[in-house]
């Protein structure tokens, strides 16, 4: 059956780095308008079932006070196929991600753009022969310790030093950093920790961060992690 999205061609298969979800992705710059038939809110996003001129379809935008019956327009559309939302416990055969626009909805966006699906497609680069000394002081941990002692460290502060092997700035208002210090193993995924922060850095830097260990975190839109460090600050 031809859909409103049938003109979009899937050009790449994206495997989210967290290893949780696989989906086909189609970038686009088009807009889609429709009437809101159903609204489902999760922590950071609002999922909308829309009736467009051609069909019914699902879309996701940054969390907004959208009401059933509102007329909305979604801009900068990115289409994903077979997208799994762990928050909703639902897999969408096709769903659009974009920015809420237009004045028709008591549905104005909260000002933050809807993050596109996680761009971290490839494994981190420049990861050979990393040896970073363990941070000192209270709550100091290695990367491997954080990833293997999650029950003990959940919701507690930690300090960890490591080399920045991946850096994705400006996603959902945060910068996303992958740190490695030489501890742990690639075989069991205990050698790389994700850190979210508003502080800025760059790939190749050796930094020390302080933040809170979170587990089983689902931000929606494909951002789902077993373990990460949130609200981190760079230490001098």
Q: Which pair of tokens denotes residue 69?
A: 């019956």
Give CA separation, 40 vs 4, 19, 59, 113, 235, in Å: 21, 25, 10, 18, 39
Give the strand pairing for 56-62 and 71-85.
unpaired
Which domains are present in the chain?
12-101 (2.40.50), 143-234 (2.40.50.140)
pLDDT tens for the 236 residues of the chain, in order:
333 333 222 222 232 323 323 344 444 446 888 999 999 988 767 899 999 888 899 988 877 889 999 999 888 777 777 777 777 888 888 888 777 875 333 333 333 334 444 443 334 445 667 889 999 989 999 999 999 999 999 999 999 999 998 888 877 778 889 999 999 988 888 999 999 999 999 888 999 999 999 998 877 655 678 899 999 999 97
Bridge partners of 51, per DSSP, are 35, 56
Q: Which backbone phi and psi does 234 adopt, to 5 degrees?
A: -75, 130
Give the torsion through C-alpha atoms of 214, 58, 25, 89, to 10 deg: 40
DSSP 140: B
Global pTM reads: 0.51
Cα dihedral 61, 63, 64, 69 sign:
positive
């Amino acid at each position: 059956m031809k859909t409103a999205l049938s003109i979009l061609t899937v050009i790449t298969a994206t495997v989210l780095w967290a290893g949780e979800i696989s989906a086909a992705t189609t970038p686009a710059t088009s807009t889609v308008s429709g009437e809101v038939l159903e609204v489902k809110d999760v922590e950071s996003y609002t999922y909308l079932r829309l009736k467009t001129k051609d069909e019914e379809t699902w879309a996701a935008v940054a969390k907004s006070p959208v009401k059933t019956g509102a007329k909305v327009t979604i801009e900068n559309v990115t289409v994903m196929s077979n997208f799994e939302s762990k928050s909703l416990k639902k897999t969408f055969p096709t769903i659009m991600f974009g920015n809420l626009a237009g004045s028709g909805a008591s549905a104005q966006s909260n000002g933050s753009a809807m993050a596109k699906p996680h761009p971290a497609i490839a494994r981190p680069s420049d990861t050979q022969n990393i040896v970073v000394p363990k941070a000192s002081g209270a709550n100091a941990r290695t990367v491997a310790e954080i990833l293997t002692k999650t029950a003990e460290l959940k919701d507690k502060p930690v300090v960890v030093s490591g080399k920045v092997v991946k850096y994705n700035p400006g996603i959902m208002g945060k910068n996303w950093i992958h740190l490695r210090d030489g501890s742990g193993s690639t075989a069991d995924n205990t050698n790389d920790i994700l850190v979210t922060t508003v502080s800025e850095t760059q790939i190749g830097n050796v930094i020390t961060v302080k933040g809170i260990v979170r587990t089983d975190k689902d931000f929606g839109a494909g951002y789902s992690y077993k373990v990460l460090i949130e609200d981190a600050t760079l230490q001098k």
